[in-house]
Amino acid sequence: MRLDKVWIVARKDMSEFKTNKYIVFSLVLMPLVMSFVLPIAYLVPITMLTGDNSNVPLDLHINITSRFEGLNVENVSVSNASFVKSNLTNVVAQSCIFENCTLTDVLARDSVLLNTTIDRSYVIRSNIEASPRTDSTLSGCVIIGETSRTVNMLKTFIDSLLMFFILVPVMIPTIIASYSFVGEKLNKSLEPLLATPTTDMELLAGKSLSIFIPSMAAAWISLVPFVVLVDLIAGPVLGYYPLPNIIWVVGSFILAPLFCLLSISTNVLVSSRVNDVRASQQIGSLIVLPLVVFFVITIAGLITLDLFYMSVFVMLIAIVDAAVVYLSLKVFRREEILIRWK
Amino acid sequence: MIETVELTKNFKEVTAVEDLTMTIKDGEVFGFIGPNGAGKTTTVRMLCCLISPSRGSAFVNGMDIAHPNDRIKIRGIIGLLPETPGLYESLSAQRNLDFFAQLYGLSSTVRDRRIKELLTTLDVWDRRNDPVAKFSKGMKQKIAIARALVHEPEILFLDEPTSGLDPQASLTVRNYLLDLKKEGRTIFLNTHNLDEAEKLCDKIGVIQRNLLALGSPEELSSKFWGKATVIEARSLTPEMVRAVESIPSVRRVDLAEGKLLVELDRPDLNNPLIVRTLVERGAEIEYVSELKHGLEDIYLKLIGGPR
Ligand SMILES: Nc1ncnc2c1ncn2[C@@H]1O[C@H](COP(=O)(O)OP(=O)(O)O)[C@@H](O)[C@H]1O
Ligand SMILES: [Mg+2]
């Protein structure tokens, strides 16, 4: 295979794409959706749900005037008191400190709760640390030394946005290939090309490369504003910048190119059988199904998206890639194209 | 030079070309004529190494169309104008040609010179930067021919270059082909335009799946009709016909509409004798001419009359 010929073909195809408004439109729109709309539309609501989750304790200005230890307190209202190893039931507490206590049916406000069991209670604007909660509601509290469920969800969610990211290098080839292969077939411009001293593989590689380059370029360029936006939105909530992380590095630099190649080769197969640009796009877009399945499984919490599962997924897609590329090479032969491509 | 030996192509149950054996010499303009579906395109595709034959063999400038290494070399020395121009409509004429020139490995200076040469000759140099989509059918066909010529191929294959063009556009294309013929290029021309073939070709092959005839237009004419002399004269009588018939080298004589059609061998030697025989019997000779059968007669005789 002569790479100079591959590159000549790729360059010619790309200069054709530049004149196609549908291709240019999708090359601009898809990354925009990816890098701006997606993080704003999905992450902002979630961060609002988690509220202020910074781990900086609230400045409560508690003046303790009385201290109690080993007490059972019921049906009273207390303020500016410190309780150690006490049980409190049906109590309203204002500006108190609880350490190693049990609170049941308590309304606590502007307080500090440490190693305290909280049951059927309502805690407002307090610092809470190492305190298990059952049937209770917190409002405006800072939980120290523990990540909340919503924060965990936010982390999972950021990783699962990877699916939308990979959609870019999967969908763009579907659009470009439909014009590049079906269009060229309808225009009958393949025959003169086939009469040149190039090998079938050089032609296929050139045409594939011409799709791969703009698709991956669009994806990777969109990655920059995406990472910045996600960090800006989720950073304050998480207390650190979530991106880039290893899942995203593997996802965008290994999995995404593999999916892009899969999409291109699948579309070569589809193009050989279809005589309509739109039909080719519709069938070609079925390629997103395995991607959707994988990420639905992760969002549903059936598996955690970690390096192990990512590697398994990469390997699976690589195997499927090899098979589909092999098939597309078999389909993209002069004789096949001229005789059987209908 | 192109040589084919029993070249055959089957598409499943259809035999498109069968036992094609012929030779086309360097510098010859070969006209391949036959009705639609006769196997012309299939033959050209085999010779251009686009599809492989089912049986038989062929050599293009001594290279074997069945040999993988030769196939790519053959594609390097031939130029093909397919049935449909198949240009990249959104690209300029210049870019279309430049792309192909690059694939043939021409350097950028050679490419620029060659493209300028071709587009100037074809009278489209001024519009070299326009997208091909804006061109008329005739202009597109010219660009497509230029594309087939951009690398100075040794052999040019043209698959029905004027079909689908209006008379003016066909004329432009045909005149250009005449120029190419003068340059001494080997041209393989598929056509069902007999007039075109007659004007352009040194050699004709008539195909309908099998090769029905092969030779120069004159050779074909004399092969199918022998030599014949037409004599136009006043006061011809049946007696004169019988007298001419009795001349030994005359094979057949026909009298119709005041014209005597004499089929014979060696007209150069026998015509004076025939004329004398007629004059002696009182005929007043107006014209003596050689009977020529046009390609159309040959074609219709081989393929069958009007359908
Ligand atoms: N891809 C194909 N599959 C099946 N039959 C074909 C194919 N291409 C050509 N044929 C058949 O081969 C015959 C010759 O076709 P073709 O070479 O295109 O004729 P021509 O160029 O002389 O009009 C026709 O009967 C045609 O139907
Ligand atoms: Mg044809």
Q: How does pLDDT run across A86-120, given as a tens digit for each residue?
A: 999 999 999 999 999 999 999 999 999 999 999 99
In chain B, whose CA is at the least distance from the CA of A334? B50
Does the structure show a pLDDT above 80 at A48?
no
Question: Is there a contact between B51 and A339 if contact means CB atoms under 8 Å apart?
Answer: yes
Residue A106, token pair as written in the block: 């308590």
Q: Does B69 touch chain A (CB under 8 A)?
A: no
**Which residues from A are below 8 Å from B134, CB to CB?**
none
Residue among A333, A339, A341, A342 whose CB has most ligand 1 atoms within 8 A, to mutate: A339
Cα-only R_g, chain B? 24
Residue-wise pLDDT tens for chain B (307 aa)?
999 999 999 998 899 999 999 999 999 999 999 999 999 999 999 999 999 999 999 999 999 999 999 999 999 999 999 999 999 999 999 999 999 999 999 999 999 999 999 999 888 999 999 999 999 988 999 999 999 999 999 999 999 999 888 888 888 888 888 888 888 889 999 998 888 888 899 999 999 999 998 998 878 777 777 778 889 988 888 888 899 888 888 888 888 888 888 888 888 888 899 999 999 988 889 999 888 777 777 788 788 766 5
Contact of B146 with chain A, judged by CB distance below 8 Å, is answered with: no
Q: Chain B contacts of A20, Cβ < 8 Å?
A: 90
Q: How far A314 CA lies from chain B's nearest CA (Å)?
A: 36
pTM confidence score: 0.82
The CATH number given to B222-291 is 3.30.70.100
Q: What's the confidence (pLDDT) of residue B217?
A: 81
Predicted-complex ipTM score: 0.85
Q: Which pLDDT value is given to residue A342?
A: 66
Q: What's the A267 CA to ligand 1 centre distance in angstroms?
A: 28
Alpha-carbon dihedral sign for residues B199, B200, B203, B206:
negative
Q: Please tell me the residue having the least CA distance from ligand 1 atom 27.
A: B37
The pLDDT, as a whole number, for residue B148 is 96
* A51 has a pLDDT exceeding 60: no
- A8 near B CB under 8 A: yes
Contact B27, B48 (CB under 8 A): no
| Residue with CA nearest ligand 1 atom 17 | B39
Q: Say if CB A13 and CB A180 are below 8 A apart.
A: yes
Nearest of A339, A200, A328 to residue B52 by alpha carbon: A339
Minimum-distance CB partner of B82 among A192, A334, A339: A192
Atom of ligand 1 minimally distant from the CA of B34: 22
Whose alpha carbon is nearest atom 6 of ligand 1? B11
| Minimum-distance ligand 1 atom for the alpha carbon of B15 | 12
CA distance A53 to A239: 8
pLDDT > 70? residue A77: yes
Q: Looking at chain B, which residue has its C-alpha nearest residue A4? A: B103
Cβ pair B73:A197 closer than 8 A? yes
Taking the C-alpha atoms of residue B148 and residue B150, their distance in angstroms, rounded to an integer, is 6
Does A268 score more than 80 pLDDT?
yes
Closest CA–CA distance from residue B20 to any residue of chain A (Å): 20
User: How many cross-chain Cβ pairs, A to B, lie less than 8 Å apart?
Assistant: 77
Residues of B in contact with A22 (CB under 8 A): none
The three-state secondary structure class of A150 is: helix
Sheet containing B210-215, strands listed edge to edge, beginning at the edge strand earlier in sequence? B78-81, B155-159, B186-191, B29-33, B203-208, B210-215
Hunting for tokens 């050779």 — which residue is that?
Answer: B219
Best-predicted range by mean pLDDT (A35-39, A132-136, A293-297, B262-266): A132-136
Mean residue pLDDT across chain A: 89
Residue A52 has pLDDT above 60, yes or no: no
Check if B66 contacts A (Cβ < 8 Å): no
Question: How far, in Å, is the centroid of ligand 1 from the Cα of A32?
Answer: 49
Q: Which of B88, B97, B137 to mutate to test the interface with A (most CBs of A within 10 A)?
A: B88
Query: Pick from A194, A197, A338: which is nearest to B104 by CB?
Result: A197
Task: Give the residue among A53, A35, A260, A304 at the shortest CA–CA distance from A160.
Answer: A304
The CATH fold of domain B2-215: Rossmann fold (3.40.50)
Q: Which atom of ligand 1 is nearest to the CA of B160?
A: 21
Query: Are A192 and B72 within 8 A, CB to CB?
Result: no
B90 CB near a chain A CB, below 8 Å? yes
Q: How confident is the model at residue A147 (pLDDT cuts 50, 70, 90)?
A: low
Chain B positions in Cβ-Cβ contact with residue A191 (cut-off 8 Å): 50, 80, 82, 84, 86
Mutate: best of A7, A12, A18, partner B, most B CBs <10 A: A12
| Residue A90: strand, helix, or coil | strand
**Chain B hits for A2, Cβ within 8 Å:** none
Residues B197 and B206: their CA atoms lie apart, in Å, by 11
Smallest Cα distance from B105 to chain A, Å: 9
Contacts of A233 (CB under 8 A, 6+ apart): A39, A40, A43, A44, A47
Partner-chain contact A197 B75, CB within 8 Å: yes
B51 contacts A334? CB cut-off 8 A: yes
Does the pLDDT value for residue A22 go beyond 90? Answer: yes
> Ligand 1: which residues within 6 Å by Cβ?
A 339; B 11, 14, 16, 34, 36-42
The reported pLDDT for the residue numbered A50 is 62
Q: Where are the alpha helices (DSSP H) in A178-306?
A: 184-186, 190-194, 200-238, 246-250, 256-273, 277-284, 289-299
What share of chain A has pLDDT > 70, as a percent? 96
A196 and B100: CB-CB below 8 Å? yes
For residue A287, the 8-state DSSP code is G
Question: Best mutation site among B91, B97, B103, B107 for testing chain A: the one with the most A CBs within 10 Å?
Answer: B103
The alpha carbon of B160 and the centre of ligand 2 are apart by a number of angstroms equal to: 7
pLDDT at B108: 96
B48 in contact with chain A, both atoms CB, cutoff 8 A: yes
Considering only alpha carbons, which residue of chain B is nearest residue A15? B91
The C-alpha of A333 sits at a distance from chain B's nearest C-alpha, in angstroms, of: 9
* pLDDT score of B110: 97
Q: pLDDT value at position A149?
A: 67
